[in-house]
Structure 1
Amino acid sequence: MKSIVQDRYGPAPEDVLRLAEIDKPTIQRDEVLVRVHAASVDRGTWHVMAGLPYPIRLAGFGLRRPKSPNPGRSLAGTVEAVGAGVTGFKPGDEVFGISSSSFAEYARVRTDKLAPKPANLSFGQAAAVPISGLTALQAVRDHGRVQAGQKVLIVGASGGVGTFAVQIAKAYGGEVTGVCSTAKADAVRAIGADHVIDYTREDFADGQRRYDVVLDIGGNRRVSHLRRALTPRGRLVIVGGETDGRWLGGIDRHLRAHLLSPFVGQKLGTFVSSENAQDLMTLRDLIESGKIAPAVDRTYPLSEVAAAIRYMLDGQTRGKLVITI
């Protein structure tokens, strides 16, 4: 089968990714073989590819070299075969979920990370959902605990996670303000943000406005700066924001938020997204009800995965980048 292949870690996609013919994966008892129709790129794609910051290698992606053939993870496709212990899926089912090495014609997927594809989405749209959608859902629902009538600020509202977070916060009844650049303001309004702040012209933490929940998905603003945008009992959820550090890569800011939280009235923290089928089903329900929809910026063929990652690294993405296979 055709697959993107990576033999070593490296920060430049053009240097470490190539298209090759490899063997079709063999599934285990609790796995499903999926004929991949589409996959997607997110910031985590680069981390898995680069092996940075270094703790990601200890998380199971390979210490000295990549454990999986390629860094693709989100996918949508058709079930080709099921393992002997699998129930609930059969060949021909249209599915979406999370795997390893999804930049390929076939991928093996655990059933606890797989769900029926939303009926109203194409495969390309569905592939844009899993990782970014799960992160946004858990940030809004579980950690931000957004409730109807609350004022919600989303920093990095135009990105892959941000575009889902805006819509999910609206679905939970929040009054949403999105923070983005001038060029992306119209796109953030188009997905339902009640207000948009252009960070190149305004400081969202100028003390004039306060929010019940702040989701910091993009940028590297200090925790003290983000706290100025919160109400006295508000909740800060740090979802993203990175540095070039090889050891921590911005994780130190997350740790400072956790350490400070017990000593202030505001709730400050971060989280690691849980990849699970139950929340994929929640996203499916939200999508099929018309409350959220993936925002797809560009689509690339399998042979141009490196170009898609480069486009994301250049910071121009509005929503998600999809790979068609």
Structure 2
Amino acid sequence: MLTGSHTMKAVVMRGYGAPNVLEYVQDAPRPQCAANQVVIAVEAASVNPLDCKTRSGELRLMLRRRFPLVLGNDVSGRVVKVGADVEGFAPGDEVFCMLDANARRACNGFAMSGSYAEYAVTRADTLCRKPQNLSHVEAAAVPLAALTAHQALVDRAKLREGQRILINGASGGVGSFAVQIAKALGAHVTAVCSARNVELVEGLGADRVIDYRETDFCEESRQYDVVYDVVSNRSFGECCGVLGPAGVYVQNVATLSSFAFPLVRPAAKLFGREKRLEHVWVTPSGEELAKVARLIEAGAVRPVVESVYPLDRAAQAHEAVESGGAAGKTVLRVA
């Protein structure tokens, strides 16, 4: 149960801007929970590029926020309070999840968050029990990135055993999970990254690694059943040449083309063009995260943590994420 003060330590922002708008405070209000929610004592939270884009205001038209705001979509910690309608979880349970602080699902997929704090609230349907073979710091690096990769490969690309996939941006948070999940699905994986991360990506199971500074994969003669453009720096048109006859191009960034493609695809199929364009808009799901957790417990998937910062250095953590080129995830140690 929650005891003592009704305030908590947290990192808040009172407006959009550079990393220095992130302010460490010790008197933020603790979250309350609705009947279908739980309150989590946060052990660790990860920093995602989504957090940086939200902080800078880049997503202000898509993700409307009220200030003061606590960022953070990933959490690993311990349940301290459950709502009246919650079943399957109790105080003391160690859990991890991609937060959704809304009592109802957000229509845009991304919801109110708030894991840069001592306590966070989320709906029970987003929760998953923390894998026993992960620390809280490691577990916090998993949810958003792994769910993005899983939803891209399983839900969008329909990746199957024996297929060939190219992952562009294979050493980052999402990319490192995509390599491992693709291998767990039985695919042949070609990974694209910088030279300094080749050894890491090979260690994650990639069958072939391309240094993007040396080779332009779009100019090669090899073809793939799936191209997953994690960093979204190539277009569907550029990748069409390396896609097989019924190949799928998946990107993490929604574009006008990705919204329009489903409208024109029926006409394209009339002309014998089966290639398709998909984008993934990650949504919290405890059920799907449990599938990833089983892969983690089986040793088929592991998080890659690049660096760990204390909560009061969240601004520096954002600077590190925005500098680019990091291998894996950046995590805030809260407790």
TM > 0.5 between the two? yes
Q: Point out where structure 2 has 5 or more consecutive residues left out of the alignment.
A: 1-7, 100-112
Take 2:225 and 2:41, find their aligned partners in 1: how far apart are those partners? 43
Retained in 1: the 8 A contact 2:232–2:251?
Answer: no
Match among 241, 259, 284 for residue 275 of structure 1? 284
Q: What amino acid is aligned across from residue 56 of structure 1 in structure 2?
A: M
The corresponding residue for 1:254 is 258
Per-residue deviation, 1:258: 4.5
Asked if 1:319 corresponds to 2:328, the answer is yes
Q: Between 261-270 and 197-206, report the one with greater CA deviation.
A: 261-270
Secondary structure in structure 1 of the residue aligned to 2:69: coil
Per-residue deviation, 1:9: 1.6
The corresponding residue for 1:284 is 293
Residues 278-306 of structure 1 deviation map (CA, whole Å, 9 limit, x = unaligned): 10111111111111011111111101111
The corresponding residue for 2:188 is 175
The corresponding residue for 2:110 is none
The corresponding residue for 1:13 is 19
TM-score between both structures, scaled by the size of structure 2 = 0.88
Take 2:314 and 2:36, find their aligned partners in 1: how far apart are those partners? 29
1:31-110 → structure 2 map (5 Å cutoff): 31-57=37-63, 61-62=64-65, 65-66=66-67, 69-99=69-99, 100-110=113-123
Q: What amino acid is aligned across from residue 311 of structure 2 in structure 1?
A: L
Q: What amino acid is aligned across from residue 165 of structure 1 in structure 2?
A: A
The corresponding residue for 1:243 is none
Take 2:57 and 2:291, find their aligned partners in 1: how far apart are those partners? 31
Take 1:219 and 1:251, find their aligned partners in 2: how far apart are those partners? 10
Taking a change above 3 Å as real, the CA distance of residues 316 and 207 of structure 1, as seen in their structure-2 partners, is closer
Retained in 2: the 8 A contact 1:32–1:108?
Answer: yes
Q: What amino acid is aligned across from residue 24 of structure 1 in structure 2?
A: R
Asked if 1:23 corresponds to 2:36, the answer is no
Q: What amino acid is aligned across from residue 76 of structure 1 in structure 2?
A: S
Take 2:11 and 2:209, find their aligned partners in 1: how far apart are those partners? 38
The corresponding residue for 1:244 is none
Retained in 1: the 8 A contact 2:307–2:329?
Answer: yes
Taking a change above 3 Å as real, the CA distance of residues 46 and 171 of structure 1, as seen in their structure-2 partners, is same
The corresponding residue for 2:103 is none
Asked if 1:4 corresponds to 2:8, the answer is no
Take 2:71 and 2:255, find their aligned partners in 1: how far apart are those partners? 21
Retained in 2: the 8 A contact 1:178–1:197?
Answer: yes
Q: What amino acid is aligned across from residue 129 of structure 2 in structure 1?
A: P
Q: CA RMSD in A?
A: 1.6
Match among 164, 188, 200 for residue 187 of structure 1? 200
Q: What amino acid is aligned across from residue 278 of structure 2 in structure 1?
A: G
Retained in 2: the 8 A contact 1:261–1:268?
Answer: no
Match among 110, 121, 124 for residue 134 of structure 2? 121
Retained in 1: the 8 A contact 2:202–2:209?
Answer: yes
Per-residue deviation, 1:30: 1.3
Secondary structure in structure 2 of the residue aligned to 1:273: coil
Match among 136, 156, 161 for residue 174 of structure 2? 161
The corresponding residue for 1:224 is 237
Taking a change above 3 Å as real, the CA distance of residues 198 and 253 of structure 1, as seen in their structure-2 partners, is farther
Take 1:258 and 1:9, find their aligned partners in 2: how far apart are those partners? 34
Taking a change above 3 Å as real, the CA distance of residues 282 and 230 of structure 1, as seen in their structure-2 partners, is same
Q: Between 257-266 and 155-164, report the one with greater CA deviation.
A: 257-266
Retained in 2: the 8 A contact 1:260–1:268?
Answer: no
Secondary structure in structure 1 of the residue aligned to 2:248: strand
Asked if 1:146 corresponds to 2:159, the answer is yes
Retained in 2: the 8 A contact 1:70–1:103?
Answer: yes
Q: Point out where structure 1 has 5 or more consecutive residues left out of the alignment.
A: 241-249
Q: What amino acid is aligned across from residue 155 of structure 1 in structure 2?
A: N
Q: What amino acid is aligned across from residue 133 of structure 1 in structure 2?
A: A
Take 1:302 and 1:266, find their aligned partners in 2: how far apart are those partners? 45
The corresponding residue for 1:245 is none
TM-score between both structures, scaled by the size of structure 1 = 0.91
Q: What amino acid is aligned across from residue 164 of structure 2 in structure 1?
A: K
